[in-house]
Each structure stands twice: as C-alpha cells, then as structure tokens.
C-alpha cells in the first residue's frame, strides 16, 4: 500500500503493547519492519493467537475499528522491534475514498487476512492437535530452535498448557524434539513434517 501524507511515525521496541481490548483506534497502522502479534484472551485467562501483522499486511482489528467505529477487542503487541506509521482516521477515510491504489491495497490485504482466519478455523476444527502443534513448531523455529514457553505454544495452538506439555513430551520420547528450559530443538524435521501433514 502506498505511503500517504499526514502519517505519524511509529517506532516501538519488542514487547510493547500497541492496543488493548476496549481501547479506541488511533488510526491505520502501516508496518515497515518487524512483526505485530494479535491475540485474544478469554475470561478464564486462556489466550489464542489470531494472526500476525508483517510489513505490507493489515490488522483486521484496526480495520474494523476504523470502518465501524468499534473499540479493540483483542491485544496487539510488538513481537519484535517495529517501525512504521499511523495514518489518522480522517486521512485513512479520505485516502480510502479518493486514492484507488490505496483502496485496492487495503481491500487486497483484508482478503488475505480473511484467508488467514479461514486457515485458523480449519486447523482448529478439522486438524488433529499433533498436526497443529507440528505446524507451529516448524513455522516458528529459527535454525531448528524455538524459544517459546509451553504457555505461548498453547496460545499458538488454541489449546491448554498442560495438553501442550504432554504432547511435547511424547514428541521428545519419539526423538522428534529435545526440550530445554524455554527452548525446543527440532531433531527430526522429516518426522515433524510428516506429523504436520496429518489431517485426522
């Protein structure tokens, strides 16, 4: 999406909260670098990761707030250091109405985000948990290592921490991974990918 005037610079370190449930939307976020993690927390405290926003991507929560005047219902947190800009509400509406390229970029990003949601629903409803866990491990690992707590993995897989721990222990017994404090190393990529392809 093209850069527009009237935008305010956005620079935040990893871990910063961009928005929280109940907060009003300050404007349209355009990310130039980094990643934003958007998650929803239930009353019982269980967290589910809805999606991530990368450069060129769109936050569906922000889009809904700008279009319908809603307040945020989820949390957006900088997963890494981020840089970008915030296009104020009035400027966003003007750009959407007058700039065909801006409008096309926004709608294309909305369509891509809905595809992400469809995939999330499909994985939770139709995919076995082991396959879901294996996909998260392969997707988020860097050089075969994943630095993430069991609680965070539970949020990524829409499940409970205890269940994640039990399945990771089984993966470890089968020689697929090795667990260390705050870290998971993938030992058998082929085996993990085989599990990730399971549909039942």
Could you report the per-residue pLDDT of 132-181, keeping only the tens digit for each?
899 999 988 989 999 888 888 988 887 888 889 999 999 999 999 999 88
User: CA 115, CA 35: separation in Å to the nearest integer?
Assistant: 18
Domains and CATH numbers, the chain: 8-125 (2.60.120.10), 128-194 (1.10.10.10)
Q: Where is average pLDDT lowest: 7-11, 78-82, 127-131, 171-175?
A: 127-131
Note the pLDDT of residue 2: 44
Q: Identify the band that residue 124 occupies on the pLDDT scale cut at 50, 70 and 90.
A: low
Q: What is the pLDDT of residues 40-78, one digit of tens each?
A: 887 777 888 888 899 988 888 898 889 888 899 999 999
Q: Residue 68, Cβ neighbours under 10 Å: how many?
A: 7
User: CA 20, CA 173: separation in Å to the nearest integer?
Assistant: 39
Percent helix, percent strand, percent coil in the chain, to nearest 5: 45, 25, 30
User: CA 151, CA 141: separation in Å to the nearest integer?
Assistant: 16
Contact 22, 72 (CB under 8 A): yes
User: CA 140, CA 80: separation in Å to the nearest integer?
Assistant: 13
Strands (E), 71-128: 75-78, 82-88
pTM of the model: 0.68
Closest CA to 79 of 1, 179, 148: 148
User: CA 69, CA 25: separation in Å to the nearest integer?
Assistant: 8
Residue matched to tokens 């527009």: 4
């Amino acid at each position: 999406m093209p850069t527009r005037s009237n935008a305010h610079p956005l620079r935040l370190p990893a871990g910063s909260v961009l928005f929280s449930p109940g907060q009003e939307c300050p404007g349209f976020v355009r990310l130039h670098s980094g990643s934003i993690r958007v998650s929803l927390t239930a009353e019982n405290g269980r967290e589910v990761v809805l999606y991530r926003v990368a450069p060129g991507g769109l936050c569906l929560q922000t889009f809904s707030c700008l279009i319908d005047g809603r307040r945020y219902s989820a949390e957006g947190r900088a997963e890494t250091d981020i840089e970008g800009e915030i296009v104020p509400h009035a400027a966003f509406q003007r750009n959407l109405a007058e700039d065909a390229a801006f409008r096309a970029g926004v709608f294309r990003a909305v369509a891509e985000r809905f595809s992400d949601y469809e995939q999330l629903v499909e994985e939770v409803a139709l995919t076995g948990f082991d396959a879901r866990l294996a996909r998260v491990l392969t997707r988020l690992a860097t050089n075969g290592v994943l630095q993430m707590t069991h609680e965070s993995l539970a949020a990524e897989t829409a499940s409970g921490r205890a269940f994640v721990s039990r399945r990771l222990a089984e993966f470890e017994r089968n020689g697929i991974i090795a667990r260390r404090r705050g870290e998971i190393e993938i030992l058998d990529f082929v085996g993990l990918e085989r599990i990730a392809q399971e549909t039942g």
